Copies of this chain bind each other. A is one copy, B any other.
């Protein structure tokens, strides 16, 4: 029964730390056997950071990897003169870090309160080379991120400001909730400030604000307290986003 280490997902030798963890199922940890998980979790440490915390800069993610347990992380790039662009948003249970490379070129910063499960870089690097299944999960997540990045290139390059804002709201509406798929009516807290949204869409905060107002007056969305958004009809929002 125990002859094969890569046994059932719910075998009893799963570390306590991992038992209720989302990454254990949908994330990269799902590729690991019970014994591997045990080995990894002994080196893992959890922490919670406030919004706006740099994760890549201060040796946080250069010397380690992490799984996102909850919250939203923004990946940013910055030009020499200060212009900034958000090049990716990561939600739980995404894997954070760039294998095979010391310098990341992109900064990672918590957009909301974020809970992380971090691992020393060396441990993961070794596991990647020893566990093909883990490598495969990483490949799949990377391919998905590539698809997303390319999808956003269309938004950045070819959509109007109105479509951009609608596209962003649609992205959040479909990503932030743990599988509220097929729902037509959704409601959520925006994980990003107007400045962040602007940096994500290649716009200014004024333009973002104006377009949100337009969507509100057209009854495509309603907003409370600047952050709480309700979308009565997701299809109508998608149409505004040219999706």
Contacts and interface: CB of A to CB of B under 8 A. Distances in A.
Interface residues of A, number: 41
B146 A202 contact: no
Contacts of A159: 79, 83
Interface in A155-213: 156-159, 201-202
A154 interface: yes
Interface stretch (A14-22, A55-63, A97-105): A97-105
A85 interface: yes
B85 A158 contact: yes
B99 A157 contact: no
A9 interface: no
Contacts of A81: 242
Interface string A143-157: 101110111111011
A84 B150 CA distance: 12
A175 to B, nearest CB: 17
Contact of A146 (B132, B136, B142, B154): B142
A29 interface: no
The residue among A84, A156, A159 with the most chain B CB atoms within 10 A of its own CB is: A156
Nearest to A84: B158
A135 B157 CA distance: 32
A80 interface: yes
A88 B157 CA distance: 13
A139 interface: yes
Interface string A111-143: 000000000000000000100100110111011
A194 to B, nearest CB: 16
B156 A153 contact: yes
Interface in A51-87: 75, 77, 79-81, 83-85, 87
Given A129-B132, A138-B139, A142-B143, 5 more contacts: A100-B143, A132-B132, A145-B146, A152-B153, A158-B202
Question: What are the nearest 7 A-B pairs in CB distance?
Answer: A157-B202, A87-B150, A156-B156, A149-B149, A85-B154, A83-B158, A132-B132
